[in-house]
Every structure is written in structure tokens, then in C-alpha cells.
A and B are shown apart, each in its own frame.
Chain A
Amino acid sequence: MRGITRRVALVVMLASVMVPTIARAQDATPVAAGEVILATTTSTADSGLLDALAPLFLAETGLTLKPIAVGSGAALEMGEKGEADVLLVHSPAAEEEFMANGFGTDRKTVMYNDFVIVGPEDDPAKIADAPDAAAAMAAIAAAGSPFVSRGDDSGTHNLEKKLWKAASITPDGAWYVESGSGMADTLRIANEQQAYTISDRGTWLAQGDAIDLPILFEGGKALQNIYHVILLNPENGERINSEAGAAFMAFLLEPETQQVIAEFGVEEFGQPLFTPCAEDSCFAPATPEATPAA
């Protein structure tokens, strides 16, 4: 019988671990009350910004932030289906279509950073001399130099497609590789193959010494990476918590949060990862437009 005693003891041990998990889950069941589901992009989550903002948001509003990091395409899809309360995305053309279709009730600029074109040190396609981003892409295609695309309908992928379109090129051939992965993975694949790719600056900075792909082209309006917060239309899903979503939107735009965004990343990377820009404040007419790198 000792065997049975021991087995019973094991089950009791397992149950003592399991019961609190289930009990805790039940505590959290009131769906909308204390939390806000934010569908967002991998770049905001991977940078650690949302982990930094969540406790501030909780302290200020008593709401628990649940950031779900997917590509911008998937985040907009979640918004359409009412699977989130608020979005933080960076895919302007897709966002405008989303708003035009009535899926969102409000959309505001939060912050921006920029995309950079990185590639092998010796720059075989000579993109550093290109006059603009589309010309840089055209040079890569003309040289047939390897290029790694996200290929995942993310904000970065959409920007890349826009640049190909501007250069009147349909990327195709052995030189054009689709990773189907997030930004960090795509950078590492490009690094292994010593290929060109487009990255948001934050993710590129975060890779540090792990990759050997310098920035070869930067600057210009075409490479601006603007993040918008979108409040969802409660008509698209009965469980959308618009109140909590609006609280998060207000939180992102208030001066204290904008200051946190401005300082985020300085400690680790020696430079900020995002420039705050509540409601387009940074795009005032006086702001000189960034010029392409020479």
C-alpha cells in the first residue's frame, strides 16, 4: 500500500499547485473591469517600452495593461474583430483604410522613430550614395544583392512594399528572401547571409554587437516610422472596453508619459528609441524635414 500512499501524496502535491492557479483565474474573470487589451507591434514590445509603461498606467488608472505583441497587420485584424480595446500600430496606409471602414473611432499620433536600411559593410549595391530610399531599393534590385524581407504584412513589411512600388520594382528572384519572421529574427537572418534589410532603428540598436550590418541608408520622409494609437469602435464587438481604451489613449498622450517615451532607451543604448509626438506636436510646420544621408 505504500505505493498508493506515495501516489496520493503526489496527486495532492500537484493539486496544491494547480488549485491556486485556477482560483486566481476565477478572480480575474470579470472580463472588462480592470484591464485593457492593447494589440500592438513587435517593435514596441521587443523594445521593452510597454513593460516600462504598464506599471505607470496601472498606478495612474488602476487598469492592468495587457499588451499583445503581433505585427501591425495582425493588430489591425484583432481590432476589426473586437479582440482588443485599443491599438498602437505603425502602418499608416492600412490604418487609414481601417478608419475609413469605421473600425476605429479615434486615431492619434503618439511617437515616431525611423526605419533604416542596413546591409553588408562593403555595400555591394552602393546604396549609401542613393538620393532617396526608393532609389536605394532600386540599387539593391539592380545589383541583385541579397535582400531579406519580413514578408509578414507587418508595418515594416508594408513600408518595404511601398518603397518597391515607388521604385516601380516587383521584387522577385533568388536575391529576394522572405523570412516570415519578426524584426529581430529577420536582422539575424540578414546578418548570416550578409544581405540588406529594412529595420526600425530601435530593433536594430537592440541587436548591438550581435549583428554586423551597419546602417547604409537613413533619413528622409519615406523612412519615417510613425506610431498611432487607435480607439476601437464598440460596434465591432460587444466586449470592447472603450472606456479602458480611451484611458490608455489619454495616458499615452499626456506630457508625463511623453517624457518617459522621450527618455526610454537612453540608459541602455545611449540614445532614445522613440521621439514623442502627441497629436502631431512634433510635425509643426517649423520642423525641418529630415534630409537623406549623403
Chain B
Amino acid sequence: MSEIVQGIGEAWQLLISGDPEVWSIAWLSLRVSLSATLIALLIGVPIGTVIALHEHPGKTAVVGAVHAGMALPPVVAGLVVSILLWRSGPLGQWGLLYTPSAMVIAQAVIATPIVTGLTYAAVSGLDPRYRLQLAALGASGPATAWALLREAHVALIAAVVAGFGAVISEVGAAMMVGGNIKGQTRVLTTATVLEVNRGHFATAIALSTILLILVYAVTLGLTIVQRRR
């Protein structure tokens, strides 16, 4: 129990002293996870919208697959991305394994189904009369989609929060494709695991506290966007 109190104190000290290592770890966590979330948005929102707006016999199977993807264990995403990026793998010539880019790719794989599934739910949940109205006004396909997404913006921001939350907090994929290399791919979650393994429990709590503060700051920003129109 004393470790938690001591750890929160240590977090405070690390933050006010501006410890350069902790700041660079926190900054990398933020950069990697925001990049992955942005990629997930660019892929997931259009796909989720298209799935929601088109009726076809295989729709249930498709939505089911997206929902299963939302439960994809990060370590499985990490393993698959590792194998693809291995030197002996199909993308080996890029030399991306154990770099922040590899972490962005793995985290984007984790976040994309989450954003897709929640976008589908957001667009499907809209009043169908609104869509009919848009059609009656002669809106084109993309214009309809854009209007629907605007209408569903509260649920869409929730999708962003869920995607970001899933990736900034995961450790399995970040460890596997990043390698937890000091100064290069060490992020808050993998650093926490390392400190636990080293028996530095208070430092681990300090890093976790910084992670929670970071997550709160980002989600607060998103919530402000969500609540104002």
C-alpha cells in the first residue's frame, strides 16, 4: 500500500522536476497512440459508415467480424505485425521492427476495428427518417454520409476515445513490436512493466500515474469537442 502513496509522490516529483527521460517516454506514448488513433479514424470511419448505410445479405457476418476485431487481443495484433515486419517477413526490407512506426502500425490494427464498430453503431443508431429526409432533398451519397456523421458526432467522439484508450493503455503489442528500447521505443506502459520487473514498484506507480494524467488530458480535450457543437 505504501508503494502507491510513495509512487504518486514520485510521479509529482518527476513531473515538476521535468525529468527528461520521463517526458520523452510520455511524449512518445502520446505520439504513437495519437498517430495510431488518427490512422484508425481515417480507415474506420468510412468503413463503419459504408457498412451501416448498405443493406446486403452478408451484413450480419461483416458486422460480426468487425465486432470480433474489437476483441482482438493486442498481443495477437503485435505478433502478426511482428511476423510481417520480421527481416525474413514480407515487409522485412522496410526495417521497421523495433521502431515507433511499427508500434503505430500495430496499434492502428488494434484501434481500427474499435473505431469501425462504434462508427457503425453510431450511424445505425440515427433516426432513419433523417436519412430519408436527406434523400428527399436530393443529397448525394458522400453528402449524405457527411451529414449523418455530423449528426452522430457525439457517438463518433466516443469511438475516438475508445480507440485511443485501447492503444495508449496496451502493453503486449508495444512490447513485441517496439522492444521497449530505452530512448527509442520505450513508452509509459512498457516502462511500467520494466520497473515492476526491476522491483521498483513506486516508480511503476509513478509512471502509471503520469499515464492516467495524460489520458485524462487527452480525453478531456475530446470531451470538450464532443460537448460543444
Q: Could you tell me the distance in whole angstroms from the C-beta of A209 to the nearest C-beta in chain B?
A: 9
Chain A positions 224-251 with a Cβ under 8 Å from a chain B Cβ? 237-240
A51 interface residue per 8 A CB criterion: yes
Cα distance A3–B198 in the bound complex, in angstroms: 48
Residues of A within 8 A of B88 (CB): 81-83, 237
Residues of A within 8 A of B97 (CB): 83
Are B31 and A20 within 8 A (Cβ)?
yes
Chain B positions 52-95 with a Cβ under 8 Å from a chain A Cβ? 86-88, 92-95
Are B228 and A207 within 8 A (Cβ)?
no
Residues of B within 8 A of A67 (CB): 179, 181
Main secondary structure of the interface of A (DSSP, over half): helix
Q: Could you tell me the distance in whole angstroms from the C-beta of A242 to the nearest C-beta in chain B?
A: 13
Residues of A within 8 A of B182 (CB): 51, 54
A173 interface residue per 8 A CB criterion: no
A99 interface residue per 8 A CB criterion: no
A185 interface residue per 8 A CB criterion: yes
Cα distance A206–B228 in the bound complex, in angstroms: 50
Cα distance A7–B156 in the bound complex, in angstroms: 12
Are A46 and B198 within 8 A (Cβ)?
yes
Q: Which of A22-30, A134-142, A153-161, A279-287 contacts B (4 or more CB under 8 A)?
A: A22-30
Are A208 and B181 within 8 A (Cβ)?
no
Are A10 and B37 within 8 A (Cβ)?
no
Cα distance A264–B98 in the bound complex, in angstroms: 26
B38 interface residue per 8 A CB criterion: yes
A31 interface residue per 8 A CB criterion: yes
**How many chain B residues have a CB neighbour from A under 8 Å?**
39
Residues of B within 8 A of A30 (CB): 95
Are B184 and A64 within 8 A (Cβ)?
yes
Question: How many A-B pairs fall under 8 Å by CB?
Answer: 108
Are A17 and B30 within 8 A (Cβ)?
yes
Are B32 and A3 within 8 A (Cβ)?
no
**With A24-B100, A54-B182, A182-B197: A14-B37 Cβ-Cβ less than 8 Å:** yes
Residues of A within 8 A of B32 (CB): 21
Are A29 and B225 within 8 A (Cβ)?
no
Residues of B within 8 A of A31 (CB): 87, 93-95
List residues of A whose CB falls within 8 A of some B CB.
2-4, 6-7, 10-11, 14-15, 17-18, 20-22, 24-25, 28-32, 37, 42, 45-48, 51, 54, 64, 66-69, 81-83, 182-185, 203, 206-208, 210, 237-240
Q: Could you tell me the distance in whole angstroms from the C-beta of B24 to the nearest C-beta in chain A?
A: 13
Q: Could you tell me the distance in whole angstroms from the C-beta of B120 to the nearest C-beta in chain A?
A: 20
**Could you jot down 16 A-B contacts, CB within 8 Å?**
A3-B229, A18-B38, A20-B31, A21-B31, A22-B104, A25-B96, A29-B95, A29-B96, A32-B95, A46-B194, A66-B98, A81-B88, A83-B88, A203-B197, A206-B198, A239-B87
Q: Could you tell me the distance in whole angstroms from the C-beta of A57 to the nearest C-beta in chain B?
A: 12
**With A22-B35, A22-B101: A237-B197 Cβ-Cβ less than 8 Å:** no
Q: Which chain B residue shows the least CB distance to A185?
A: B197
Cα distance A251–B39 in the bound complex, in angstroms: 41
B153 interface residue per 8 A CB criterion: yes
Are B153 and A239 within 8 A (Cβ)?
no
Residues of B within 8 A of A47 (CB): 198
Q: Give per-residue flags for B141-160: 1 if the beta carbon is below 8 A from chain A beta carbons, else 0.
A: 00000000010010000000
